[in-house]
Amino acid sequence: MKLSPYIIDLLRQKSGNQIRLSRDCEFLALDVESVTGEHIGVNTMKRLLGFIADERTPRTSTLDVIARYLDFEDWDALRLSDEASSNSAFDERDEYLACYMEKGQQVQVTYPPNRVLILENLGDNHFLVIKSENSKLQDGDLLTLTHIIRGYPLLISQVIREGKDLGAFTAGKIQGIDFKLL
């Protein structure tokens, strides 16, 4: 079971840590223990944050520790807060619409563990991969995408490689991406 984005965001705020890398879970586990006096294993924390794929449901006592760390009485109270917050809401995401980019503008996209993409806007929501490091995308791939949102996965609706349509691709599924305009 992976915690919801709402709860992960609360953990980021409380710990002051962006929790973007697997090793950030060690810091978070130590912080939880120092605040609550109760231990949560690093691997359990990695599972709850999505760094280790595992659909097992954690013990309620573990979830209660996280709730207490976040200043909730117990897991049920935190879960109710999560449900109340996630129905519908306006949010202030750090979002960049591809249609606002100038033709020829480049953007660097990074995501864990050490992936780097440099994309050039070709216009009409099409991008050329100028540089790809440690990604399944390759230099020269043509991409179709409409949004780049910090902290969310990069949703690419189409990848064309050497004239062949490879379909859709998602980058940064677990922790989302970061980006900067070049």
DSSP string, 119-140: EEEEETTEEEEEEEESSSS-TT
Q: What domain range includes position 106?
A: 95-181
Q: What percent of the chain has pLDDT over 90?
A: 52
If one counts the domains in the chain, the total is 2
Identify whether the C-beta of residue 93 lies closer than 8 Å to the C-beta of residue 150. yes
Q: What percent of the chain has pLDDT over 70?
A: 90
With H, G, I as helix, E, B as strand and everything else as coil, classify residue 106: strand
Residues 101 and 63 in one domain: no
pLDDT at 102: 81
pLDDT at 150: 81
Ramachandran area for residue 151 (φ above 0: left; ψ -120 to 50: alpha; else beta): left
The 10 Å Cβ neighbour count of residue 91 is 5
Mean pLDDT value of segment 24-34: 94
Residues 71 and 139 in one domain: no
Mean pLDDT value of segment 145-165: 90
Residues 38 and 67 in one domain: yes
Mean pLDDT of the chain: 87
pLDDT at 79: 84
Mean pLDDT value of segment 42-69: 89
Backbone angles phi, psi at 172, to 5 degrees: 70, 40
* Higher-scoring residue by pLDDT: 152, 141: 141
Q: What would the pLDDT profile of 60-100 be if each residue is shown by its tens digit?
A: 999 999 999 999 999 988 888 877 665 544 444 455 666 66
Cα angle 113, 19, 92 (rounded to 5 degrees) comes to 105
Residues 100 and 133 in one domain: yes
Last residue of a domain, one of 18, 52, 86: 86
Query: Which single residue is written with the structure tokens 């995308």?
Result: 137
Is residue 39 scored above 90 in pLDDT?
yes
Whether the link from the prior residue into 113 is cis, omega within 30° of 0, is yes
